[in-house]
Structure 1
Amino acid sequence: MPRPGPAGRVSGAPALVADIGGTNTRIALARGGTVLADSLRRFRNDDFPDPQAVLHAYLSAAGHPPLSGACAAVAGPVRNGAARLTNRDWALDLAALRAVAGPAGPVALLNDLQAQGHALDHLAEPALTGISEARAEPGGPRLVIGIGTGFNIATVHGHGPGCRVTAAEAGHAALPLATQEDLALARFVTGGTRLAEVEDVLSGRGLARLYGWVSRHAGPPQQAAPEAITALLARGENPAARATGEIFARLLGVAARNLAVTLLPTGGIFLCGSVARAMAPHLNDLGFAETFRARGRIPGEIGDFAVSLINDDTAALTGCAAALTGDAAWRRPATSVND
């Protein structure tokens, strides 16, 4: 029988880690900061009324094992121990997570991009694919850009257990507009009712909006799921998909460049998320590199940042496991881990 250890932990028991996205939730058990691969399960959020129901379903299927703690990464802002998803009417707080996880050990809430940041030092080399030829500066700040159901970023300062990962809601920044065509696109994706945001185009739904924008020249705007658009792009036989990809790559290049010169991530930029993984093989062919490296008045030594793709779609779970094993998480078991 497992026994309580330091800070109420259950000796030998695993921790519960969860990545709660706008569309899907991934849940696993972790021990010693390592995710147990055979414990991983994926759930469609549409099948559940709230995140607690998903967590209960997982633990029920796993036989309700004793836990040493729990950490959930949520696709939305975390503040004062509570999180609300940006692209789904779901909320989760530390009390609810504690009720699911049980009384032993710490519980923590992270923004999902913070979890990706915490994972960087724990990813095996095959989990990363280079997109640019620039070299990262060892020890420099790192920037994670997530593109999936939504868009967001996190900045990573330092390495190892003492690293600091800052939260953001960058998907709601204003969409960078350079031409009259960009302005018309912004009005199209918002219906002209509000300021266009980065997430309106650089996300799964944004990719679908771009496809509708491009296809309108041949008649009424066409509708297609993001997965269908990236499949058409990969086959290389659909001019509308190609044009959609070119706009996406250009706007991503501008957005990433703005973030890079603001945050100076000399340690590298890391793309993650389902849309990033689908688009990454095509980005440079579609013009991303040229836009991202456009100098303007930026000195050359500042404007050259390494860009990589995180291939592992469970990296946020690794980040949750890493955050739970860090000293700060154990010292503050009743608060959210927001840095």
Structure 2
Amino acid sequence: MTPWRLIADVGGTNVRFARVFDGLVVAERRAYQGARFESFIHAMRAYAAETGGLAGCASVAIGAAGPVAAGEIHLTNIAWTIREAEVEAEAGAPCTLLNDVEAAAYGALTLTEPDYALLSGPAPDLSRAMRLLIANIGTGFGAAALFKVANVWVSCPSEAGHMSLRLPDDAPAGLRSAFPSVEHALSGRGLVDLHAALSGRDDGLSARDICANAAYDPAAAATIRLFAEITGSVLGDLTLAYTAWDGVFLVGSVAKGCAATDPRAMRAAFENKGPMSDRLKAVPVALMLKEDPAFFGLAIAPMRTR
């Protein structure tokens, strides 16, 4: 029997499974509502029963939202705790838990030119890259870096969404207390809250609506400009922190909807880092277009040794 890897992407509502053969051949995809199951193990058993069992499973890679500590991860939207040891006992194969953005970061290594859109800076050269930054702007904000060490890619996750946020100097003073952390601004809810704070009204627009309206609505355009400035500044800080000189890749629903709306404002804030401004001019910023980057990242992520 050909050995294969079980991969699972655990979101706030759904858990998705697949089998991976020969590194990138993804088969037997299934998605289940997490609320149907008492635990991740129960969901995994349902998948196994539906797809022919776990015989031949050589490894398991799981991506989930939240920090991984001591071989386990506690989920908030689903009352699950996933433990590597329990999964290994069930599957009879080694298991690695990854933060969801960490999984998407590995997905960046599978990109070809049609899989991303360059937003600013020079074109990335993934064949020569040594350090990359991946940032997710969606329901929340997350970031992870990849470092190439001895010809092996190693991930470094973070909880960057909870970093303190410094708004641009010309932002209205009243906004500062309302947006104390990065995720308070750089998320779907954050964009809606920024728009309400700047316009002085809550008009019921979604993040997608605000992005779409920016072309003709001055209030939406002002919101997107501030959002782009905050995005650029935060990405610039993270690039400096990780020395991710070889490229920044954005993923997530809000990033896809808004990242290209005001790239000049985002780039100006990205590069506005004093003595390091010239260094940042050489860093590409791109938007991932490939669907399911976390799935492809889980397919190739190295197994951690313990």
TM over 0.5: yes
Cα deviation digits, residues 120-145 of structure 1 (max 9, x gap): 32223321221113254733311111
Distance 1:46 1:198, change over 3 A: farther
1:14 partnered with 2:4: yes
Q: How does 1:75-94 map to 2 (within 5 A)?
A: 75-85=65-75, 90-94=80-84
Q: CA deviation at 1:307?
A: 0.9
Identity, in percent, stands at: 29
Aligned partner of 2:269 in structure 1 is: 291
More displaced stretch, 38-47 vs 305-314: 38-47
Q: CA deviation at 1:181?
A: 3.6
User: Pairwise CA RMSD of aligned residues?
Assistant: 2.8
1:229 partnered with 2:210: yes
Q: In structure 2, how many angstroms separate the alpha carbons of the residues matched to 1:183 and 1:85?
A: 35
1:212 partnered with 2:196: yes
Query: What letter is aligned with 1:39?
Result: E
Aligned partner of 2:117 in structure 1 is: 129
| Aligned residues of 2:147 and 2:153 also touching (Cα < 8 A) | yes
Q: In structure 2, how many angstroms separate the alpha carbons of the residues matched to 1:119 and 1:215?
A: 38
Report the structure, 1 or 2, having the larger helix content: 1
Aligned partner of 1:114 in structure 2 is: 102
Q: CA deviation at 1:316?
A: 1.1
| Aligned residues of 1:26 and 1:314 also touching (Cα < 8 A) | no
1:312 partnered with 2:290: yes
1:197 partnered with 2:188: no
Q: In structure 2, how many angstroms separate the alpha carbons of the residues matched to 1:68 and 1:259?
A: 35
Q: 2:260 aligns with which of 277, 281, 294?
A: 281
Q: In structure 2, how many angstroms separate the alpha carbons of the residues matched to 1:225 and 1:60?
A: 40
Q: How high is the TM-score relative to the length of structure 1?
A: 0.78
Q: CA deviation at 1:295?
A: 4.8
Unaligned runs of 5+ in 1: 3-11, 190-195
Distance 1:224 1:35, change over 3 A: farther
Q: CA deviation at 1:280?
A: 2.6
Distance 1:43 1:241, change over 3 A: farther
Q: In structure 2, how many angstroms separate the alpha carbons of the residues matched to 1:141 and 1:266?
A: 6
| Aligned residues of 1:212 and 1:223 also touching (Cα < 8 A) | no
Question: How many matched pairs?
Answer: 303
| Aligned residues of 2:118 and 2:286 also touching (Cα < 8 A) | yes
Aligned partner of 2:228 in structure 1 is: 249
Q: In structure 1, how many angstroms separate the alpha carbons of the residues matched to 2:6 and 2:115?
A: 22
Query: What letter is aligned with 1:133?
Result: G
Q: How high is the TM-score relative to the length of structure 2?
A: 0.85
Unaligned runs of 5+ in 2: none
| Aligned residues of 1:253 and 1:291 also touching (Cα < 8 A) | yes
Aligned partner of 2:28 in structure 1 is: 39
Query: What letter is aligned with 1:316?
Result: A
